[in-house]
A = this chain, B = another copy of it.
Amino acid sequence: VIQQTVKNQDELARYLGVTRLTVHRALNGQPGVGQAKRQKIVQAARDLGYRPNAAARATVTGRFNAAALVLSTQSGRSTLFPGLVAGAADALAAHDMHLSIARLPDEKLTDEGYMPRVLREWTVDGLLINYNQEIPDRLVELVQRHRIPSIWINSKQPADCVYPDDFGGGLQATERLLALGHRRIAFLSFSRPQHYSGADRLGGYEQAMRAMGLTPLPVLRPARGNKLDATGDDLRPLTSEVLQGSERPTAVLTNGVREAVALMHAAAWLHLEVPRDLSIASFAESVEDDAVVPLSKMRITRTDLGRLAVKMLLEKWSCGLCRGRASPPCSRCLSRRGAVARCPVPAGAGRRT
């Protein structure tokens, strides 16, 4: 199958016997082309496989139609959740935009000279910063000072951030266990205390317990609790001990699948059936996690998180005129008022001076 193709607006215009300019207007929904002619051009573009050259467009508009997912090169500090990537990529694609991966070392992220040009360097209009732990203060400051359109992912910031409702999750999970009649409910966590999510889940648990007039049990943490490499060998004594004696919890809320697995292992050793003898509830990311641990779970939908982050970034990109708010319209929107579907200028970036 040989198919006629056209590689730029010029060829397409020549093919149709119109001006390059008319083609441009028809394809970009700008006024100045008649209905019939416009439709004909749009159809021809489709038939001949015309696709705009994104690079050329970026050169003149100063926009790249892309966002970067920023990751630390220290992988422990930036967990890459597949669902997050999918959600962000799809949300961007819905606006004809792309997602790039930018793995950056701290030297660059905290370099006064690098930050202002990070956007052009990565050919993006904004950042989705997926730096979750031990975020350098300087990074936060530089992003703000240089007004780089950014959304923080999975970390709590004063503004422009998205993260799952871990507190609500802990609350709900505990409430469900309480509704099932459990009273001795414990919280088990091996995670680094640094990340807010552990604290929030625990906080939700504690609030739910207190709301029932119960005293939260002491949090179960292994001795080497702040080490990620805690192994099952270390854990069985702890988890086994927890499950013995007449005062043992009848239900345990675990911070993650890892904890749940270790706990189930200990339970099996003691011949406790789940959930008959012991209820376990956990936070889980993916469907696959279910296969390992058959238990109640609070599902964290990272896909929605990615979508939300992109939505917020899109809002940052539009000027006041476009989003109908009080902030001043950018020069470009002013100049072609009425015809604008989306603000052509990223706020605070890419603006020509």
Are B228 and A49 closer than 8 Å at their CB atoms?
A: no
Cβ-defined contact, A265 with B264, below 8 A: yes
The segment from A56-64, A179-187, A335-343 that touches chain B is A56-64
A231 and B268 contact, CB distance less than 8 A = no
Which of B73, B101, B117, B262 has a CB less than 8 Å from the CB of A292?
B262
A271: CB under 8 A from chain B? yes
Smallest distance from the beta carbon of A321 to chain B beta carbons, Å?
25
Contact of A55 among B3, B59, B262 (CB under 8 A): B59
Set B54, B58, B75: member contacting A82, Cβ < 8 A: B75
Q: Which of A42-76 contact B (CB under 8 A)?
A: 49, 51, 53-56, 58-59, 64, 66, 69, 71, 73, 75
Which residues of A, 283-340, contact B by the 8 Å Cβ criterion?
287-288, 290-294
* A247 close to B (CB within 8 Å): no
| Residues of chain B lying within 8 A (CB to CB) of residue A51 | 117, 120-121
**Is A80 in the interface zone, CB < 8 Å from B?**
yes
Q: Take A112-B3, A265-B265 as given contacts and tell me if A100 and B103 are in contact as well, using a CB distance cutoff of 8 Å.
A: no
* Residues A112-168 near B (CB distance < 8 A): 112-113, 116-117, 120-123
List the number of copies, as a whole number: 2
> Separation in Å of the A346 CB from the closest CB of chain B?
14
Q: B3 touching A113 by the CB < 8 A rule?
A: yes
| Nearest chain B CB to A219 CB, angstrom units | 18
Is the Cβ of A75 less than 8 Å from the Cβ of B86?
yes
- By beta carbon, the residue of chain B nearest A75 is B86
Please measure, in the bound complex, the distance between the C-alpha atom of A5 and the C-alpha atom of B353, giving whole angstroms: 13
Known contacts: A54-B120, A55-B59. The answer to whether A291 contacts B101 by CB under 8 A is no
Q: Check A251 for interface membership: any CB of B closer than 8 A.
A: no
Q: How many residues of A contact B (CB 8 A)?
A: 63
A212 within 8 A of B: no
The chain B residue sitting closest to A50, CB to CB, is B117
Chain A, range 241-265, C-beta contacts under 8 Å to B: 257-258, 261-262, 264-265
Contact of A85 among B80, B117, B229, B266 (CB under 8 A): B80
A291 interface neighbour in B93, B190, B291, B292, Cβ under 8 Å: B190
Is A230 positioned at the interface, with any CB of B under 8 Å from its CB? yes
Interface string of A268-288 (1 = CB under 8 A from B): 110100000000000000011
> In the assembled complex, which residues on chain B have CB atoms less than 8 Å from the CB atom of A64?
55
Chain B residues with CB below 8 A from A195, complex form: none
Assess whether A10 is interfacial by the CB under 8 Å rule: no
Additional A-B contacts beyond A264-B265, A269-B271 (13; CB < 8 A)? A3-B113, A49-B113, A49-B116, A54-B123, A55-B58, A75-B86, A86-B103, A100-B100, A123-B123, A232-B292, A258-B291, A265-B265, A268-B268
22 A–B contacts, CB within 8 A, in A order:
A3-B112, A5-B116, A5-B117, A51-B117, A54-B120, A55-B59, A59-B59, A66-B100, A69-B101, A80-B82, A80-B85, A89-B103, A98-B102, A99-B100, A123-B123, A228-B291, A232-B292, A232-B293, A232-B294, A261-B261, A262-B292, A268-B269
